Structure 1
Amino acid sequence: MGNMGVPGASGSRFGVIGGGIVGIALARALARRGDEVTVLEKEQRLAAHQTGHNSGVVHAGLYYAPGSLKATLCATGRDLLQEFCRQKGLPYREVGKLVVAVDETEIPALNEIERRSRANGVPDLERIDDIRRIAELEPHAQGVAAVHSPHTAVVDYASITEAMAQDVRAAGGSILLGHEVTAMTASTDRVMVRTTVSDHVFDHVVVCAGLQSDVVARFVGADPSPKILPFRGEYWALHPDRTSLVSGMIYPVPDPRFPFLGVHFTRGVDDDVHVGPNAVPALAREGYSWGRISIRDTWESLRWPGAAPLARQHWRMGMDEVSASVLKPRYFRKAQRFIPELRMSDLRRTSTAGVRAQAWGRGGELLDDFAIDRVGAVTLVRNAPSPAATSSLAIAEHLVAQL
């Protein structure tokens, strides 16, 4: 995760840019410690982007490199999040996750998932090589082997963020909505921040701006890399009469070449079952549909030095994802691999889509870990990929411990 240290002392004036779950969790930790905290959020509500548009999964740590900060914070964050939901009376449902190898070619990758899971201490993990056991857990799923994580859970991250925000305010912090940051000037011990509404002076600023993180980084002269490449994830939902096809979560064995998990089935906190997401390049930073286009955002992506090598390396995957986005039969076939009984009519188009702030470097590499920069008294969270929502309270504790 890099050097996450932020200088400071109790009673400092902190500005937090971004009202997603990571920014609000950090503001909560600072306010409860006794610092003066102001959150600046450009939208009129919290959790308006990645936090409010994801699968709602509380990850147990199956995928991450053992010993990495990402793996450690996921484990700690899961426990903290479960306790937070218990205290606040928010839903936390351990529906369980089954990662399924559809055929023998996927066994080696499944073995690696099992190895990482055990090294990361995923609780009560079960390796399954008997198709009868797969049928006990997910009667309609098909596969030759699987790993089962019974404590993988689902939550409502937007509601959790609002509950955290209540704690921020109760501890004396301020959350200013509709305050888009337009300029920043940083020195070693002061930061001037201008928004569309007002100007502010802080001792320290932490930027948790998600899809806009590289834009805000430019305000203080930070390295343009990593840049944000927006990927849209589109969801379908199972018809209410067919949600019995899925008991908890059914996931594919992920392709290790990509930082995406593939199309999967998830039973949500309200017992709906959604299918997805896919991963298609969005034509705008906040491009939640094909009709949302930003010529500026698209041009900036195309002229980035990493664009050509990324295209050369992953064009087949990109074409496959785009075709599945615009052609329902392609999306359906991806999903039917795991549930042969699935019918085309079972999938209902929803208005739900998320945009992932995927950081990428000058060489075209897609960053899979947290990326943190420092410029004077400004700390920039440049990349906070999954499991950032799961880990949010642990990330906040880790940051504050360095202050």
Structure 2
Amino acid sequence: MTTDIQTVIIGAGVVGLACARALAKAGREVLIIERHDAIGTETSARNSEVIHAGIYYPQNSLKARFCVAGRDMLYRYCAENGIDHKRTGKLIVATHNDQIPALRDIEKRARENGVHDLVWLDGHDAIAREPALNCVAALESPSTGIIDSHQLMVTLLGEAEANGATLALNTDVVSAKFENGIFAIETLDRDGQEMSLTCAELLIAGGLHSQTLAHNFTGLPDQSIPPQHYARGCYFTLSGKAPFSTLIYPAPEQAGLGIHLTLDLGGQARFGPDVTWVEEPNYDVPEEKRAGFAAAIRKYYPSLDENALQTGYAGVRPKIQAPGEAARDFLISDREAHGIDGLVILYGIESPGLTACLAIADHVENVLSRPQAKAAS
């Protein structure tokens, strides 16, 4: 049976756009549907813009595999396409002796993940390098960096469009179903115009909304859809000159990597994110968080002037574990999970999703190229 278009991607965040590029380059006719009036306005735009090395994640997890592979792919892609980025490196710091075993565990896990360039520093050596730092030991990660995420997304979209992809903004997908070997999708744009279209392949890369989109998919088994939770992370910026030349991360905490210091490409320092579980996505940065941020930051930057902290921004991370539960891996739901050929749904694509975007895209293209997926088209 013929369809209106071969492949539809719901969601124009960095991962959706990377997938659009990969699928269009592979010769597919691709339509990207985005509910907002611009690309990448949610999780992809509200993060630390860090290229991660692949240090923290469990061995053989998708996060570990795609981060390590994606890191190298992303550095290469930035260099080839003139995307602003910088290998800043980072220090993961223990601020008291009780945290040293945690650093050793991180070092071991990094080696298991194929990250072999970490350097152990004692407190003296770390402080000699970064005089404003307080720590008793540190792990240096030379392959960590920063990136202009918006420039990356614009480049990915441009390459996808150069290979025939089309982007539809201001359009909600209100329902979908799979019957007679094709997908039927109903959309509604901001002007109230309804449209129906069919496709042979469907990728849901909805970020914060993937579960909602999945629940609106008629016939998708409920047991294949994971829980949906949201963790808001707030950031404060630092006025004046940045006190460090590299990124500074404390020993990680549950649900996040702690209130760390990152640098943007202009050299400004920012601190965050913290972790607040919320019922629905919101981007408030409560002023009363300032004192808590200052207390956490002073553990590794004791000379912080709290008055130099300025309210920054917030991001919301899509979580598939509840508060208090162990962190879960990326979930890439394909035919094996839900029984539908040609359908891939991405759940829980939080950090290191930015770093991993090109590796995730290659994986999705491989999944959709399997014989059983092609049979649906």
TM-score (norm 1): 0.83
3-state SS in 2 of match to 1:193: strand
Task: Tell me whether 1:183 sits opposite 2:185 in the alignment.
Answer: no
Distance in 2 between residues matched to 1:383 and 1:133, nearest whole Å: 38
Q: Measure how far apart 1:16 and its partner are.
A: 0.5
Distance in 2 between residues matched to 1:25 and 1:229, nearest whole Å: 24
Distance in 2 between residues matched to 1:208 and 1:274, nearest whole Å: 28
Q: Measure how far apart 1:70 and its partner are.
A: 2.1
Q: Measure how far apart 1:30 and its partner are.
A: 0.6
Q: Measure how far apart 1:346 and its partner are.
A: 2.0
Distance in 2 between residues matched to 1:12 and 1:349, nearest whole Å: 45
1:234-258 residue CA offsets vs partner (Å, 9 max, x unmatched): 1111112x41x12111101113xx2
1:257-309 residue CA offsets vs partner (Å, 9 max, x unmatched): x2311100001112111011111123423x1117xxxxxxxxxxxxxxxxxxx
Task: Tell me whether 1:213 sits opposite 2:205 in the alignment.
Answer: no
Match of 2:236 in 1: 236
Q: Measure how far apart 1:47 and its partner are.
A: 0.6
Matches within 5 A, 1:64-213: 64-129=57-122, 131-187=123-179, 189-197=181-189, 198-213=195-210
Match of 1:345 in 2: 307
Q: Letter of the 1:280 partner, please give it.
A: T
State whether residues 234 and 314 of structure 2, in contact with CA within 8 Å, keep that contact through their aligned partners in structure 1.
Answer: yes
Could you say if the C-alpha distance between residues 188 and 153 of structure 1 is closer, same or farther in structure 2, counting changes exceeding 3 Å? farther
1:321-372 residue CA offsets vs partner (Å, 9 max, x unmatched): xxx973422221011111111111121112x2111111126x9735420113
Q: Letter of the 1:61 partner, please give it.
A: G
Match of 2:25 in 1: 32
1:68-123 residue CA offsets vs partner (Å, 9 max, x unmatched): 33212111111111111112111110111100001011111111101111222325
Q: Letter of the 1:201 partner, please give it.
A: T
3-state SS in 1 of match to 2:76: helix
Could you say if the C-alpha distance between residues 167 and 182 of structure 1 is closer, same or farther in structure 2, counting changes exceeding 3 Å? same
State whether residues 88 and 144 of structure 2, in contact with CA within 8 Å, keep that contact through their aligned partners in structure 1.
Answer: yes
3-state SS in 2 of match to 1:62: coil
Distance in 1 between residues matched to 2:121 and 2:138, nearest whole Å: 5
TM-score (norm 2): 0.89
Identical pairs, percent: 31
Q: Letter of the 1:223 partner, please give it.
A: D
State whether residues 321 and 328 of structure 2, in contact with CA within 8 Å, keep that contact through their aligned partners in structure 1.
Answer: no
Distance in 1 between residues matched to 2:140 and 2:21, nearest whole Å: 34
Match of 2:375 in 1: none
Match of 1:253 in 2: 251
Q: Measure how far apart 1:152 and its partner are.
A: 0.5
Q: Measure how far apart 1:178 and its partner are.
A: 0.8
3-state SS in 1 of match to 2:222: coil
Could you say if the C-alpha distance between residues 398 and 372 of structure 1 is closer, same or farther in structure 2, counting changes exceeding 3 Å? closer
3-state SS in 2 of match to 1:386: coil
Distance in 2 between residues matched to 1:37 and 1:325, nearest whole Å: 44
Q: Measure how far apart 1:49 and its partner are.
A: 0.4
Moved more, 214-223 or 265-274: 214-223
Aligned length: 352
Could you say if the C-alpha distance between residues 222 and 162 of structure 1 is closer, same or farther in structure 2, counting changes exceeding 3 Å? farther
The structure 1 residue matched to 2:7, chosen from 14, 17, 22, is 14
Task: Tell me whether 1:288 sits opposite 2:287 in the alignment.
Answer: no
Gaps of 5+ in 2: 190-194, 370-377
Distance in 2 between residues matched to 1:391 and 1:132, nearest whole Å: 34
C-alpha RMSD of matched pairs (Å)? 2.0
3-state SS in 1 of match to 2:344: strand
The structure 1 residue matched to 2:295, chosen from 333, 349, 371, is 333
Q: Letter of the 1:268 partner, please give it.
A: D
Match of 1:294 in 2: none
Gaps of 5+ in 1: 1-10, 291-323
State whether residues 235 and 274 of structure 1, in contact with CA within 8 Å, keep that contact through their aligned partners in structure 2.
Answer: yes
State whether residues 205 and 379 of structure 1, in contact with CA within 8 Å, keep that contact through their aligned partners in structure 2.
Answer: yes
Distance in 2 between residues matched to 1:188 and 1:276, nearest whole Å: 49
Following superposition, which runs of at least 4 residues in structure 1 exceed 4 angstroms of deviation?
Answer: none
